[in-house]
């Protein structure tokens, strides 16, 4: 039995569309949160990571 390439292609297209819609929804919610003055999820973590790196660098320079 040969593979059904049309089915696989359609499934891939649907998965891609679903992922795109989820990304757009996440982006919309993030913009709304910023407009309300809230910090969206993940934003605080990124800032914390940056501060940790700066701390690590300063500790490495000390004897």
pLDDT reported for residue 60: 54
Sequence-distant (≥ 6) Cβ neighbours of residue 30 within 8 angstroms = 40
Q: What is the DSSP string of 29-46?
A: HHHHHHHHT---TTHHHH
pLDDT at residue 51 tops 80: no
pTM metric for this prediction: 0.52
Tell me phi and psi for residue 42, to 5 degrees.
Answer: 90, -30
CA 11 to chain CA centroid, nearest Å: 23
Q: What is the pLDDT of residues 9-47, one digit of tens each?
A: 999 999 999 999 999 999 999 999 888 888 756 655 444
- Report the number of distinct structural domains present in the chain: 1
Containing domain of residue 42, as a range?
A: 5-61
pLDDT reported for residue 48: 45
Q: Could you tell me the pLDDT band of residue 61, with boundaries at 50, 70 and 90? A: low
pLDDT reported for residue 3: 86
């Amino acid at each position: 039995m040969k593979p059904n390439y049309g089915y696989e292609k359609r499934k891939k297209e649907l998965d891609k569309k679903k992922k795109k819609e989820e990304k757009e929804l996440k982006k919309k919610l993030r913009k709304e949160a910023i407009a309300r003055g809230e910090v969206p999820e993940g934003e605080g973590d990124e800032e914390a990571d940056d501060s940790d790196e700066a701390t690590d660098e300063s500790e490495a320079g000390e004897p």
